[in-house]
Amino acid sequence: MKFPPYLAVGDKVSILSPAGSIAGEVIERAAEILRQQGFKVKIGKHAFDEAGVYAGSDADRAADMQKALDDKSIKAVFFSRGGYGCLRTHLGLDWSRFHQHPKWLVGFSDNTVFHSYLARKKTASIHGVMSSTFEKDGVLTDSFLKLMDLVSGNRVDHVLPPHELNRMGKAAGVLGGGNLSILQSLRGTPLDLKPKGKILFIEDIHELNYRVDRMMQNLKAGGVLDGISGLVVGYFTGMNDGAAPYGKTVFEIIREAVEPYDYPVVFGFPAGHELPNHPLLMGGNITLEVSGNGALIRNYNSK
């Protein structure tokens, strides 16, 4: 696994909008916060654009990202938001210079597209907060501070309380995954998840319960759930049972899907479309220990 250089005070970073549009003042405030952390900040030329649901045209979003990927002086890219559009942006990119001089890509939700691509290329990235949740009520969020620790090369471990649906056990592997709907949309593409040796993380927002079952059954039928060595379940925010009640909660649906396997499963990891949204080192080696007392996730980075 290749780890980009960790950040240091004075490094140049970029804020880009590769998917949905976002209010300019949110990006400007995020840039100011990053400057306060000691970074030089370059905002993408089209980061404030609007074109329907997108932050500008496919070509303009890709041009912004291509410029940042190719610029050796930029050490990290912080995505302003998710939404929809990252796959369209990805299809317009040439990653060759990035792979010669990799940098940290930071974001979640629709940005799972980029995490999935980098996982295939054995390059680490960070699933973490984006512009609107760097702070809350004028105070830096704990999630942002943990993100700063992680991009600086400090180890960020996670201790979780017990959950009634957890399955106990120990596992080690490379952390992969992200937004479940995006992972589903990438099945059968060159960005599809390779499960062997992976501990899978999943989260989602505003889905119907039966659709979650459909996605989990797809992962089961495709051998993904059989191939992983552990499962970490984050937030499933604003889920809807639908007009015809499915009869199970989302967590019960997920637990049922992995019932045939014996690896550890932990529910309620604080990451996804809520706060706290703790950072995860995608592509990093982790150990997962689940017991009656809760769960411990240890990260092992390259520093």
- For residue 256, pLDDT over 60 is answered with yes
| Chain segment 2-18, per-residue pLDDT in tens | 999 999 999 999 999 99
Q: Residue 178: phi, psi to the nearest 5? A: 140, -135
Amino acid at 121: K
Residue 32's domain comprises 12-151
21 and 109 part of one domain: yes
What is the distance between the alpha carbons of residues 261 and 134, in angstroms, rounded to a whole number? Answer: 38
What's the 3-state SS for 171-204?
Answer: EEEEEEEEEHHHHHHCCCCCCCCCCCCEEEEEEE
Q: Which of 119, 151, 183 is the last residue of a domain?
A: 151
145 and 164 part of one domain: no
284 and 190 part of one domain: yes
- For residue 302, pLDDT over 80 is answered with no
215 and 139 part of one domain: no
Work out the average pLDDT over 125-148: 98
179 and 202 part of one domain: yes
- For residue 242, pLDDT over 90 is answered with no
Give me the pLDDT at residue 252, please: 98
- For residue 258, pLDDT over 60 is answered with yes
Give percent of the chain with pLDDT exceeding 90.
Answer: 97
Q: Which of 123, 151, 179 is the last residue of a domain?
A: 151
- Contact predicate 178/282, CB 8 Å: yes
**How many domains is the chain built from?**
2
Tell me the pairing of strands 139-140 and 135-136.
Answer: antiparallel
288 and 167 part of one domain: yes
| Chain segment 262-297, per-residue pLDDT in tens | 999 999 999 999 999 999 999 999 999 999 999 999
Residue 218 lies in a domain: yes
Core vs surface per residue 57-79: b (16+ CB within 10 A) or e: eeebbbbbbbebbbbeebbbbbb
Which residues does residue 158 pair with via DSSP β-bridges, in sequence order? 297
Work out the average pLDDT over 70-99: 98
Scanning the structure block, which residue is given the tokens 């074109």? 51
198 and 278 part of one domain: yes
Task: Return the structure tokens found at 126.
Answer: 């960070």
Residue 176 lies in a domain: yes
Handedness of CA 269, 128, 117, 122 (dihedral sign): negative
What is the distance between the alpha carbons of residues 179 and 202, in angstroms, rounded to a whole number? Answer: 6
What is the distance between the alpha carbons of residues 242 and 84, in angstroms, rounded to a whole number? Answer: 23
Give me the pLDDT at residue 301, please: 73
- Contact predicate 55/86, CB 8 Å: no
- Contact predicate 280/202, CB 8 Å: no
- List, as own/partner pairs, every contact residues 148-152 make where C-beta atoms lie below 8 angstroms and the sequence separation is at least 24, other chains included: 148/37, 150/126, 150/279, 150/281, 150/301, 151/6, 151/7, 151/76, 151/104, 151/106, 151/126, 152/6, 152/7, 152/8
Work out the average pLDDT over 128-143: 98
85 and 180 part of one domain: no
Give me the pLDDT at residue 303, please: 55
What is the distance between the alpha carbons of residues 279 and 151, in angstroms, rounded to a whole number? Answer: 10
Q: Which of 118, 151, 184 is the last residue of a domain?
A: 151
Q: What angle do CA 46, 279, 218 make, to 5 degrees?
A: 85
CATH number at residue 127: 3.40.50.10740
- Report the mean per-residue pLDDT for the chain: 97
| Chain segment 165-220, per-residue pLDDT in tens | 999 999 999 999 999 999 999 999 999 999 999 999 999 999 999 999 999 999 99
What is the distance between the alpha carbons of residues 101 and 11, in angstroms, rounded to a whole number? Answer: 15
CATH number at residue 187: 3.50.30.60
Give percent of the chain with pLDDT exceeding 70.
Answer: 99
